[in-house]
Amino acid sequence: MSDLWNIEPIPFVGKTSPQQGLGFRYYQPDRVVAGKPMKDWLRFAVAYWHTFDQRLVDPFGEGTAQRPYDHFTDPMDLALAKVDYTFEFYRKLGVGYFCFHDRDLAPEGDTLRETNANLDRVVDRVAELQAETGITPLWNTSSLFTNARFLSGAATSPFAEVFAYAGGQLKHSLEIAKRLGSENYVFWGGREGYENLWNTDLRREQDHMARFLHMAVDYAQEIGLDAQFLIEPKPKEPTSHQYDFDAATTIAFLKTYGLDGDFKLNLEGNHANLAGHTYQHEVRVARVAGMLGSLDANQGDKLIGWDIDEFPSDLYETTSVMWEILDEGRIGPHGGLNFDAKPRRTSFTAEDLFRGHIVGMDSYAAGLLVAAQMHEDGFIEDLVAERYGSFDQGVGASVEDGTATLADLEAHALDVPQADILASTRSDHLESVKATINNYIVDTLGRD
């Protein structure tokens, strides 16, 4: 193995290792949990843009990142050389997947034709390294928001020239998905929303967006691309309102435009929080609609109200998300956990990139262990079954089987004293549920 990063492959060291070493405390790829190896439950992916391209800028300061390929000055030389660094990173970290935008890989030329040629040269190298390592894209996507031409959106731009460019760009990106065998293809509508309703034709923009997605479905069919299409909801930023606001809004949009058979959702923790939801809420909403596709694993910060893409470390959240995944049986038909996350600006060394991924992988592995124990004991399942038990018989059953009318309900309710109704609701003890979950986290990880 080459040593471009000057770092040893990350070992499993367990909980007793010294605090500062690079090693996994919980993640053991081949360890079987709830009937499957950890690596198959979690299917970790590295995000090309954050890990290899992000310079760790913030709105007030320049980039601080130090990367081992910083000495390349020509953009194409850099783009080509960087691919080797990325694959070595995946191997040393021990992940099987990566995710990328077209524009993460190669610089743009003056025309789409030139840009495509740059991109194809880099994709050739990616294909070689995929064949050598067996590491493949969990998904790819098209950056239809970075370049200045997309200042008012891509598929929802009011300018037809921009829509046409976006369509052409998307076409090539789908061809790359086919060539590299991407398991999913993501649409994140970064600028598909509005800043100001006064200059916006809401209906027309959403019609255009749906046309764009239908064209993608048609072209995938034409070239035999079988990647699962995913929409990634986010409520705002960079727009003040994004059309794919959250899981529920996106599902309604897909159903309205007859796209729900072809798309599922890629859900991100920090986006959920921006929409005023927990990550678990977004996963549950997608699950009950049969629309769970994949996960962008990151977390927000309680004190910062924007998308800061922290590596996940909150065990309560990873436990909740993995509980949903265990209940579902998988993340999605082809889903995984993509670390759409970056180190803080103060963590600028190459080693910090490994540290960030290690805490993320360990936090999800720990969440998996805790959630598996909760499932084995059936404590949540029992609690929920009991809570809705009154719908299994009597008046409740007649509601669920569709036979009850309002007159039946009136006849049932007319003479029941208030105290009896209240008594029938029992106490939910939500506080003790939370205490029990805390115990599961402490006990399961303490024993492990």
Identify whether the C-beta of residue 212 lies closer than 8 Å to the C-beta of residue 160.
no
Tell me the angle at which helices 247-256 and 202-223 cross, rounded to the nearest 10 degrees. 80
Give one DSSP letter per residue of 166-210, joined into a string.
Answer: HHHHHHHHHHHHHHHT-SEEEE--TT-EES-GGG--HHHHHHHHH
Tell me if 192 contacts ligand XUL by CB under 6 A.
no
User: Which residue's CB atom is positioned nearest to ligand XUL?
Assistant: 188
What is the four-CA torsion angle of 360, 361, 365, 370, rounded to 10 degrees? Answer: 0
| Helix (H) or strand (E) run with residue 136 in it | strand 136-141
Distance in Å, CB of 272 to ligand XUL, minimum: 11
Residue ranges that bind Co ion, judged by CB under 5 A: 268, 296, 340
245 lines the binding site for ligand XUL (CB under 6 A) = no
Q: Which three-class secondary structure state does DSSP give residue 249?
A: helix
Q: How far is the CB of 154 from Co ion (least distance, A)?
A: 17
SS3 393: coil
Site membership for ligand XUL, residue 317 (CB under 6 A): no
Decide if 271 is catalytic: no
> Closest distance between ligand XUL and the C-beta of residue 162, in Å?
18
Task: Judge whether 94 and 42 are in contact, CB under 8 Å.
Answer: no
Q: Which is nearer to ligand XUL, 283 or 370 (CB)?
A: 283
- By a kind-dependent CB cut-off of 5 to 8 A, residue 357 interacts, out of ligand XUL, Co ion, none, with none
Determine, following the binding rule CB under 6 A, whether residue 232 of this chain makes contact with ligand XUL: yes
Per partner kind, with CB cut-offs from 5 to 8 A, the member of Co ion, ligand XUL, none near residue 234 is: ligand XUL
Label residues 139-164 b or e (16+ Cβ within 10 Å = b).
bbbbbbbebeebebbbbbbeeeebbe
* Nearer residue to ligand XUL within complex by CB, 42 or 45: 45
Q: Give the closest residue to 136 by CA, choosing from 100, 93, 188.
A: 100
Local structure of residue 155 (DSSP, 8 states): T
Q: Which is nearer to ligand XUL, 57 or 385 (CB)?
A: 57
Q: Report, in Å, the least distance between residue 50 CB and ligand XUL.
A: 8
Residue 410 carries which side chain, given as an amino acid letter? Answer: E
Which residue in the set 296, 310, 317, 324 belongs to the binding site for ligand XUL (CB under 6 A)?
A: 296
Given Co ion, ligand XUL, none, residue 324, with its beta carbon under 5 to 8 Å by kind, binds none
**Catalytic residue status for 74:** no
269 vs 374 by CB, closer to Co ion: 269
Does position 141 interact with ligand XUL (CB under 6 A)? The reply is yes
Instruction: Pick the catalytic residue from 53, 84, 102, 104.
Output: 104
Looking at residue 269, its amino acid is G
Residues serving a catalytic function are 101, 104
| Residues of this chain that bind ligand XUL (CB under 6 A) | 101, 141, 186, 188, 232, 234, 268, 296, 307, 340
